[in-house]
Structures are given as C-alpha cells and as structure tokens.
A and B are shown apart, each in its own frame.
Chain A
Amino acid sequence: NAGVTQTPKFQVLKTGQSMTLQCAQDMNHNSMYWYRQDPGMGLRLIYYSASEGTTDKGEVPNGYNVSRLNKREFSLRLESAAPSQTSVYFCASSEGVQVHGYTFGSGTRLTVV
C-alpha cells in the first residue's frame, strides 16, 4: 500500500519558470492538502481540497494554483517560480480526519534560483 506518493522528489527551477508538483493517494480519501515547510516557520497550509471537485485557499496561497484532477490526484502548480518559493512541499490526505488524522507524502524539495 503506497499511501501518498509525490513526484518529483527534487527539483531546481530558474526564476520565472513554471512547474507542477504531483500528488496521488491510493487510500480512497476524500480530502487532500498541500503544505510547505520552511526553516523556522514550520508547516503552513497552501491549498486544500475537502472533496473531489472542490478546492480552497489555505494560509499561504499566493503564487500557487491547484487542481483536484480526480479523487486520487491533487496537483500544485507554480506559474512563475520565485526564490521565495524555495521550500519543501508536502501533500497529505485524510478521511474521517477527527478519528484517523492525516497521512503525509515524503515531500518534494524545490529550489528556485
């Protein structure tokens, strides 16, 4: 059982380039999330999708867009990357979150130069 799978694991972008981070879960969870983790800042929510067909902004959505492609997949897009978006990005999913909590992927380490 793979859980939450993120691709790629590492990426270097030049300022202004675009890219899409992919996330897929095989646990039949309804809700999916994108977080970023920065030193001294902890993890912060970028966007979330409570269910297929819905997406909402989190704490730090500026500069990002998301797509809930189907129940399994939730992608994060950077249209014009900036050095401030250098971070580690985590995808997570949940079902019955009050009882079962979140399951996280292994992360994508992104560097924007």
Chain B
Amino acid sequence: KQEVTQIPAALSVPEGENLVLNCSFTDSAIYNLQWFRQDPGKGLTSLLLIQSSQREQTSGRLNASLDKSSGRSTLYIAASQPGDSATYLCAVLKGSNYKLTFGKGTLLTVNP
C-alpha cells in the first residue's frame, strides 16, 4: 500500500527565507506527483505537477523536484512571503483507477 509522508508537519520561518518542504513515498511506481496548497477553510489549489519521467518543475518562486528511485520529492520556496502561509500537501498518482494518495501536509507560517 502506498504511503506518503511529509516532513516537517509544521514550519515557521521569517519573511525572506528560502525553505524546503519534503515528501517521501513508499512505492516508486508512480505516474506523477502533485503539490497542492490549502488555505484555512479553503479547497486545494494545484501548484506543480511532476510527471514520473521528469526531474523538476518550476513556477515563479516555487521549484519541485522528484527522485522517483529514492521515493522523494522536495518543494523549494524562494524568498518566502507572509502570503505563502498555508498547508502544503503532496500527493502521488498510481494505479489504473488514478487514485491520489495524499500526505498529511506541512503547515507553513511565514512571519513578517
């Protein structure tokens, strides 16, 4: 059974700091990995999707990497801002039913 772990569970940083969020998964036979952002009481917003054949994806200040063989992904946020405060979720896609398996998330707080 696929398991997804996110470390740390919570992170507090001062504004302007570069930071890395980690995601690991137990079964490396995945189709893709998707990073989401969730604001309190809100839905999930897709940030980046990395297909299994790719190593990384970039969008603005965000960079996500994927090492499928070791079962790891990182989300790098450059020059963090208070508006980046949210819960970040990673999810892996595997199987013919296209079911996503989610980690429990990292709660990020960026302090002004």
Main secondary structure on B side of the interface with A: strand
Contact of B77 with A by CB under 8 A: no
| Complex Cα–Cα for A50 and B32 (A) | 18
Give the A-B contact count at a CB cut-off of 8 A: 60
In the complex, whether B49 has a CB less than 8 A from a CB of chain A is yes
**Neighbouring A residues of B103 by C-beta, 8 Å:** 42
Q: Is A58 an interface residue (CB 8 A)?
A: yes
Q: Does A27 contact B (CB under 8 A)?
A: no
B46 touches A102 (CB 8 A): yes
A48 x B97 contact (CB < 8 A): yes
Instruction: A50 to B98: give the CA distance in the assembly, Å.
Output: 8
The 5 closest A-B pairs by CB, nearest first: A106-B43, A104-B44, A101-B49, A43-B102, A42-B104
Interface residue range, chain B: 20 to 34
List residues of chain B with CB within 8 A of the CB of A105: 43
Taking the closest CB of chain B, its distance from the CB of A106, in whole angstroms, is 4
Identify which of residues 57-113 in chain A touch chain B, using a CB-to-CB cut-off of 8 Å. 58-59, 90, 94, 97-107, 109
Bound Cα distance A57, B76 (Å): 35
**Is the pair B42, A106 in contact by a Cβ cutoff of 8 Å?**
yes
Q: Are B34 and A58 in contact (CB under 8 A)?
A: no
A40 at the interface (CB under 8 A from B): yes
Tell me whether B63 is interfacial, beta carbon within 8 Å: no
